């Protein structure tokens, strides 16, 4: 996990660790990474979560790298890490959003989406987008799995299938191949709508796709 100390990054980290995977909780600050790991272990004692606190560079050595950095920091972060990520599968989950009064609204980056920006910054990596639409707070609860679909975008279908298979391992989630990176704009932008729905209904809105078989 790159930039794993925020709510979304912590949710991904704890979910993969609960599967028995070793997860590097990466951050620009070793202190923040240490604090995140300590808090996750304190929340879920007795689960034996294999969480390792480290700098973002350490996270680049994993078989799967998930980018949870706030969207504004993506270019600067990846400029430093691109050589270490060469050839690796990198999943971007960042959404470009801002506040407009009381509302969360989507922002369209110059590249069209954050996932496209990641692919542009990492031309020698295998870039996909996933986990954009999951409510971080609810997803971080290991005792109450979400019953949600995760839209996966990637230029290469083999990469999309690999990420879908990874998503399918996570409790309550189903991966759905949502096409190439051109579709990342729509996938990311709907997150702001889900945030608004969650606020109005005082719940945790997420995405479910009907009309296709559930594996």
Please tell me the predicted confidence (pLDDT) of residue 103: 85
- Overall average pLDDT of the 82-97 stretch: 96
Q: What confidence score (pLDDT) does residue 105 get?
A: 92
* Separation CA 39–CA 41 (nearest Å): 5
Q: Is the pLDDT assigned to residue 75 strictly greater than 80? A: yes
3-class secondary-structure state, position 174: strand
- The pLDDT assigned to 110 comes to 92
Question: Which range (55-59, 70-74, 126-130) has the least confidence?
Answer: 70-74
> Which of 52, 59, 163, 184 is closest to 118 using CA atoms?
184
- Can you tell me the mean pLDDT for 50-55? 96
pLDDT of residue 101: 87
Return the pLDDT at 138.
96
Q: What is the DSSP string of 24-76?
A: EEEES-HHHHHHHHHHHHHHSTTS---EEEEEHHHHTTSSEEEE-S-GGGHHH
Question: Is a pLDDT exceeding 90 seen at residue 197?
Answer: yes
Considering the four listed CATH numbers 3.20.20.80, 3.10.330.20, 3.90.79.10, 3.40.50.720, the one that applies to the domain covering 7-201 is: 3.40.50.720
CB atoms within 10 A of CB 158: 9
Percent of the chain with pLDDT strictly greater than 90 = 92
Query: What average pLDDT does the structure give for the chain?
Result: 95
pLDDT value, residue 180: 97
Q: Where are the domains of the chain?
A: 7-201
Average pLDDT over residues 47-59: 96
Query: What distance in Å separates the CA atoms of residue 127 and residue 153, rounded to the nearest whole number?
Result: 9
Conformational region of residue 162, where left means phi above 0, alpha means psi within -120 to 50, and beta covers everything else: alpha
Query: Does pLDDT of 20 surpass 80?
Result: yes
Predicted pLDDT of residue 170: 98
Query: For residue range 140-190, what is the model confidence (pLDDT) as tens digits?
Result: 999 999 999 999 999 999 999 999 999 999 999 999 999 999 999 999 999
Strand ranges across the sheet with 126-129: 64-67, 89-92, 126-129, 148-154, 173-177
What is the DSSP track for 87-150?
Answer: T-EEEE----EEEETTEEEE---TTSSHHHHHHHH-TTSEEEE--TTS-HHHHT-TTS---EEE
pLDDT band for 62, please (50, 70, 90 cuts).
very high
pLDDT reported for residue 127: 98
- The residue whose two tokens read 């109005």 is 200
pLDDT, tens digit, 9 for 90 and up, residues 101-145: 888 899 999 999 999 999 999 999 999 999 999 999 999 999 999
Please state the separation of Cα 166 from the chain's center in Å.
12
- Which backbone phi and psi does 26 adopt, to 5 degrees? -90, 150
How sure is the predictor about 215, in pLDDT bands with cuts at 50, 70 and 90? low
Tokens of 54: 């480290």
User: Would you state the structure tokens that stand for residue 104, as one six-digit string?
Assistant: 């969360």
């Amino acid at each position: 996990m790159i930039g794993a100390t925020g709510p979304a990054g912590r949710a991904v980290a704890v979910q993969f660790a609960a599967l028995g995977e070793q997860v590097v909780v990466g951050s620009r600050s070793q202190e923040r990474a240490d604090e995140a790991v300590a808090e996750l272990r304190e929340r879920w004692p007795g689960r034996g979560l294999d969480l390792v606190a480290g700098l973002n560079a350490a996270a680049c050595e994993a078989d799967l790298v998930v980018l949870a950095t706030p969207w504004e920091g993506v270019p600067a972060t990846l400029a430093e890490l691109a050589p270490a990520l060469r050839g690796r599968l990198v999943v971007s989950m960042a959404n470009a959003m801002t506040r407009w009064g009381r509302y969360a609204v989507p922002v369209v980056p110059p590249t069209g989406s954050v996932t496209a920006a990641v692919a542009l910054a990492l031309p020698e990596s295998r870039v996909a987008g996933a986990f954009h639409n999951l409510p971080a707070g609810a997803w971080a609860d290991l005792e109450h799995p979400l019953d949600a679909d995760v839209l996966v975008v990637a230029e290469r279908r083999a990469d999309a299938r690999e990420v879908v298979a990874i998503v399918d391992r996570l409790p309550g989630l189903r991966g759905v191949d949502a096409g190439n990176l051109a579709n990342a704009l729509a996938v990311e932008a709907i997150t702001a709508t889900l945030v608004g729905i969650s606020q109005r209904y005082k719940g945790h809105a997420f995405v479910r796709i009907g009309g296709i078989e559930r594996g």
